[in-house]
A and B are shown apart, each in its own frame.
Chain A
């Protein structure tokens, strides 16, 4: 019994993460009918953004609640900006093209982030360049050397994993005779639920949400009605990316290893969760994420962890076979 309860706690904590990432997929799909495969990498950037902000604030030495909030806000701002830039530079120019073009571009953006972050840091690269120039007998001017020395030594991070400092102190509780729950699990769950409720309110209770739904329904007609379609789509990307940033920090706080390809698997799995719940549906993404987290945990705990990743994709195939619109999705009838 204790074991089952512990698995439930672990699975929920994993599931909330998937749910938060899945929300980003769902929202973007809702308005653009585009699977944003770079979303998992936005999540990765969120973890690194948090790491850099935390190092700048010295969280490692003295974690406080204020610093934790700053780390969150900083990482959210950076991922939001990244989401805006990705949409503006990569997807908007291709919006009129066939949908496949945008999909392939999304995969391209994903690779750009993954492999771009695996490059040596700018300072190392500059130092190599300087060394090569000297080896060639080219005089490097002093101002250039000085400029090189001021380049970031930690960015891009390269393939070596980093360790995320604990943003606030960890407290473990033992409940119900042996089930271990930490304040991280509780905070993650509360933050995730909070963001999901806020998102639901934004979508159904605000002007922005109404506009979003209108664009989702028919972008051209919405534009004719005076809705700033471009701004709405940008806003959707920013919102989705911010959620990915939050998910990354919640993960990194309790599972502190971060590296440039950490977004790959969670990204794919969150996509599965979004499809499972019904892509385009906010409650669907939440339920799908939780179901996937719990499913994985049970499979890994009771059978073998080798089946862990298999379960996610088995779920995807099953949903596509039995109920392609997902749990909460709506069947849309195309009127000719």
Chain B
């Protein structure tokens, strides 16, 4: 008993110490806020991203892109003379956390514009909050159509600077039929993910329309460890390629387990594959597979190379598609702020909606009546531990 009591005392001491030491941390945000100029003298950009979790590189890359854009504008004197601040909250890769973070940015921090999320399921959780508070929200990379358009009605304050899944799925279906010349494809989709389900459906429709055959449609849940049951079933149908529109951690494991079962087919996927981790985890297993993406850092276009160099200088490493999209989303927001009569609310919303022919890193951005951007997509091949440009497809 004495032992237990001693432990309890030690624990209690630690708890007290922890509480005391925590105090300044929780109050800390108040201090810089007091020192900084009042809200109207600066522009506050809120970012919700998966800084940790299974898709941690999505949030980190996007955040880097946004911060690079803000720093470049600040170096030129900010937006109409007002410096730009970026505030980032972590969604941990969970829709409920994304909704909480969005509300916190909108209500407590009173941001001028909300950027995020990468994953469609998390953007869908944030969008109603932005509409309710009448603060424009731009998602850099959520491709599911429902993010900007719910039940046939365009969400008034939600925009995106990327293409949407009907197009992305079509690109890969066309590529599989025309370039790879395959007729039998199996699908392995993440059933709990709006993005993956949407992409798989659009791919399936287009591929069938082009005369191909979907030999089997299997599913998994994000976070599964074991995919061998589904892969064995797929193997038995001997498809020529497997469409896996998931996120990189799952895809890398799927690729490994497919090769362990002796399957040699290329895997096909979407922009959810875009992460350095894909090559790290997938290794040899992912080589020779293809995915659709927003841009290729190999593109010789000076606008793109300028961005790649600036990013490399600031953060080290080649910017992935998510970083480029984050950069573009922030740039479109700042560009609209210059044109808007006020840097927030309805005037900013109207200015973003009026964006026409903005030369972004990931393509020329024109926001259409559905609040989507019409842009070309690229198809990349995984080769030698990185992605190599194969072809570009216009809408």
Contacts and interface: CB of A to CB of B under 8 A. Distances in A.
B24 A180 contact: no
Contact of B262 (A158, A174, A257): A174
Given A174-B262, A180-B260, A257 B253 contact: yes
Given A138-B24, A255-B225, A298-B229, 18 more contacts: A3-B236, A10-B229, A92-B4, A135-B28, A135-B32, A159-B92, A160-B53, A178-B262, A255-B226, A255-B253, A256-B253, A262-B225, A297-B228, A300-B233, A301-B229, A302-B233, A305-B220, A305-B221
B57 to A, nearest CB: 9
Contacts, number: 109
Contacts of A133: 24
Contacts of B232: 3, 6-7, 10, 301
Interface string A251-278: 1001111010110000000000000000
15 contacts: A6-B261, A7-B232, A14-B226, A89-B4, A128-B25, A161-B53, A172-B262, A180-B262, A251-B225, A255-B226, A255-B257, A257-B225, A298-B229, A300-B233, A305-B229
Contacts of A136: 24, 27-28, 31
A35 to B, nearest CB: 23
B24 A305 contact: no
Q: Is the interface of B mostly helix, strand, loop or mixed?
A: helix
A304 to B, nearest CB: 6
Contacts of A66: none
Contact of A301 (B7, B233, B280): B233
Nearest to A85: B7
Interface of A: 2-3, 6-7, 10-11, 14, 89, 92-93, 118, 120, 128-129, 131-133, 135-136, 138, 158-161, 163, 170, 172, 174, 178, 180, 182, 251, 254-257, 259, 261-262, 296-298, 300-302, 304-306, 308
A160 B52 contact: yes
B370 interface: no
A167 B178 CA distance: 42
Q: Which residue, of B4, B22, B92, B228, has the highest number of chain A Cβ atoms within 10 A?
A: B228
Contacts of A305: 191, 218-221, 224, 229-230
Contacts of B53: 159-161
Interface size class of B (residues with CB under 8 A): 35 or more
> Which are the 10 A-B pairs with shortest beta-carbon distances?
A300-B229, A132-B28, A255-B225, A301-B229, A10-B228, A132-B25, A3-B236, A160-B56, A6-B232, A159-B53
Interface in B233-278: 233, 235-236, 249, 253, 256-257, 260-262
Contacts of B261: 6, 180
Nearest to B229: A300
Given A93-B4, A135-B32, A159 B93 contact: yes
A50 B92 CA distance: 24
Contacts of A172: 260, 262
B103 interface: no
A136 B260 CA distance: 55
A185 to B, nearest CB: 9
B74 interface: no
B394 interface: no
